[in-house]
Amino acid sequence: MKDKKKKKQTEGRAFDMSKYDRRHIALKFSYIGTAYQGLAAQDHTDETVEAKLFASLKRVRLIGEDEKMPDMYSRCGRTDKGVSALGQVAACNLRVNKDGDMDYVGILNRVLPEDIRVTGWSHVSDDFSARFTCSGRVYKYFFLKGAKDISRMQEAAALLVGEHDFRNFAKLDVVNVSNFVREIFSFTVSKAAPGLSEEVYVLTITGTAFLYHQVRCMTAILFAIGEGLEDVDLVSKLLDVEGACPAKPCYMMAPDSGLVLWDCLFPSVKWTSTADAYNRVVAHFAQHYTAAMIRPMIDGHIHKHLVQEQQHMNLVSTGGKEKPSEESKHVKILSRPVEKSYKQKLADLSGSKKFRLEANIQKCSKKRSFIESMLQEGDAEVEPTAGEDEEEPPSKRREYMPRTALSESDWLKYH
């Protein structure tokens, strides 16, 4: 009776966050993105990964109930609707125990949805930014080989390695991005992990940062080359923004379902988890993998059965001549209409977008002047603005000075 009375009194009492210290904590987490409208929190829906993460942080009293977004929050890569992640990273100020570290992995995984799991955490400095401190990002795109020529895809992928202007492999965001040069460290095409079907292959792309939809656009071009619809040198022509291809031709990017943000690279960060909590995460995904394998087996057997039954079916003609499939008509990409160029899109800006562009230019100019003066004094330790798979609105950005020393020329070429 006393226990019930005590529990009722505790439930009715507000949790006082002011009695607890907070520290800047980095969280590493995974999610299956098919059920979500992307990673980033949005005003018009709660069906995003961040909305679920923030709600869980509040539920276990790691942040205050009145916080719309955790204090000092930053994310590494902003993934789109349907895109999954294995090594996503976010950082914010979280409650800490007075008597030692908390098991953030175990605590959060007890309240997070089944398709979102925290895999590690780490204490980080107050000036740590999950976005700007990251030294590189790794994306993987899983696909079925089918009739694709893997050797042609590998040859084309090699042309994308290095520092290039990738504006013809991305959706242009002229309000927030004025420099489309990015560096890709490696780009491979290989069989997926052992245990999967021989038909499953994977693209693995490692780079500093990526433009909006860059990975899915590069994947679409490689698929067209692998299927023999385009020549390998299409890649070189699309990269030649001053000559062969000054504006992006119209083409569909690859579907979201195969894309995974595989890892976010932080060499100096050491991830922590209790053995019990981490083992539960491993067992959790093993169980989900087994369950997920059943659906494609069912689909495969249904397809096989329908093909076998076809010869026994009375298939009635609809009359008239069958129209050729639209999918069989491939128009060469460089022969297609082009989207508006960067300069054309700038000229077309009006209203709030033009105002935001002017504000961004002014903000970048002030930051440039500050860093140039620091560089002249020899004290600056900065990192170039790291793009993401999708750029953040200016209203959600924070200013950070990560501890990666760059020369003046290195910084200026990214701005």
Given the structure tokens 């005590």, which residue do they identify?
A: 6
Please report the pLDDT score of residue 46 as a whole number: 94
Q: Report the alpha-carbon distance of residue 248 to residue 170 in Å, rounded.
A: 9
How does DSSP assign 133-193, residue by residue?
S--EEEEEEEEE-TT--HHHHHHHHHHT-EEEE-GGGS---TTT----EEEEEEEEEEE--
Given the structure tokens 């709600």, which residue do they identify?
A: 55
Burial of 216 (0-12, 13-18, 19+ CB in 10 A): buried
Give SS3 for 202: strand
* Alpha-carbon distances, residue 18 vs 14, 93, 95, 96, 389 (angstroms): 11, 13, 10, 12, 37
Which two structure tokens, joined as six digits, stand for 156?
């084309």
CB 179 within 8 A of CB 415: yes
* Alpha-carbon distances, residue 319 vs 127, 227, 235, 324 (angstroms): 70, 33, 44, 15
Please report the pLDDT score of residue 267 as a whole number: 95
Q: Report the alpha-carbon distance of residue 394 to residue 113 in Å, rounded.
A: 29
The catalytically annotated residue of 3, 21, 66, 80 is 80
CB 386 within 8 A of CB 402: no
Which two structure tokens, joined as six digits, stand for 26?
């980095």
Give SS3 for 272: strand
CA dihedral 187, 189, 193, 198 (to 10 degrees): 170
Q: What angle do CA 332, 336, 341 make, to 5 degrees?
A: 130
How does DSSP assign 84-99, residue by residue?
EEEEEEEEEEEE-BTT
The phi and psi torsions of 7 (rounded to 5 degrees) equal: -65, -40
Please report the pLDDT score of residue 395 as a whole number: 37
Closest CA to 167 of 212, 204, 127: 212
Task: State the pTM of this model.
Answer: 0.80
The phi and psi torsions of 196 (rounded to 5 degrees) equal: -90, 170
Q: Report the alpha-carbon distance of residue 334 to residue 230 in Å, rounded.
A: 10
Query: For residue 382, what are the contacts with CB-CB under 8 A and spacing of at least 6?
Result: 371, 374, 401, 402, 404, 405, 406, 411
Which two structure tokens, joined as six digits, stand for 87?
């090594």
DSSP element (H, E) containing 9: helix 2-12
CA-based torsion, 170, 175, 179, 184: positive or negative: negative
- Residue 21 falls in the annotated catalytic set: no
Strand partners, 163: 183
Q: Count other Cβ atoms within 10 Å, centred on residue 67.
A: 15
Question: What tens-digit pLDDT sequence spans the chain (415 residues)?
Answer: 555 555 555 555 677 877 889 999 999 999 999 999 999 999 999 999 999 999 999 999 999 988 889 999 999 988 999 999 999 999 999 999 877 779 999 999 999 999 999 999 999 999 999 999 999 999 999 999 999 999 999 999 999 999 999 999 998 877 777 889 999 999 999 999 766 677 899 999 999 999 999 999 999 999 999 999 999 999 999 999 999 999 999 999 999 989 999 999 999 999 999 999 999 999 988 888 777 778 777 888 888 888 888 877 877 877 666 555 555 689 999 999 998 888 887 877 777 766 666 666 666 665 556 555 554 555 444 444 444 454 443 333 333 333 343 344 443 444 4
Furthest-apart CA atoms within the chain: distance in Å: 84
